[in-house]
Amino acid sequence: MAQGRGWEGAVLRLMRAKDFTLTVTDAEDVTPRFRRLRLTDGGLLAATGVHPTMWVRLWFDNAGKPHQRAYTLVDPDPAAGTFSLEFALHEGAASDWARAARPGDTIEATVQGTGFVEPSPTPSHVLAIGDPASLPAINSLLDALGTAPATVWFETSEGAADGLPFRTDPARHEIRHVPRAELVERVKAELPALLTATGHPYVWIACDTRTTRTLSAYVRKELAVPRERTHALGYWRAS
User: Model-level pTM?
Assistant: 0.89
Categorize the per-residue pLDDT at 14 as very low, low, confident or very high, splitting at 50, 70 and 90.
very low
DSSP 14: H
Please indicate, yes or no, whether residues 149 and 102 belong to a single structural domain of this protein: no
Contact residues for 223 (Cβ-Cβ < 8 A; gap 6+): 191, 192, 195
What does the CA dihedral 160, 25, 97, 109 come to, rounded to 10 degrees? Answer: 110
Please indicate, yes or no, whether residues 31 and 96 belong to a single structural domain of this protein: yes
Encode pLDDT of 86-124 as tens digits: 999 988 999 999 999 999 999 999 998 788 888 999 999
Q: Residue 150 has what pLDDT?
A: 97
What CATH number did the domain enclosing 25 receive? 2.40.30.10
Total structural domains within the chain: 2
Please indicate, yes or no, whether residues 99 and 35 belong to a single structural domain of this protein: yes
What CATH number did the domain enclosing 132 receive? 3.40.50.80
Q: Residue 108 has what pLDDT?
A: 96
Mean of pLDDT values over 200-228? 95
Give the residue numbers spanning the domain of 155: 125-232
Encode pLDDT of 146-167 as tens digits: 889 999 999 987 777 889 999 9
Q: Residue 2 has what pLDDT?
A: 43
Q: Residue 239 has what pLDDT?
A: 54
112 class by beta-carbon count within 10 Å (0-12 exposed, 13-18 middle, 19+ buried): middle
Other C-beta atoms closer than 10 Å to the C-beta of 59 total 23
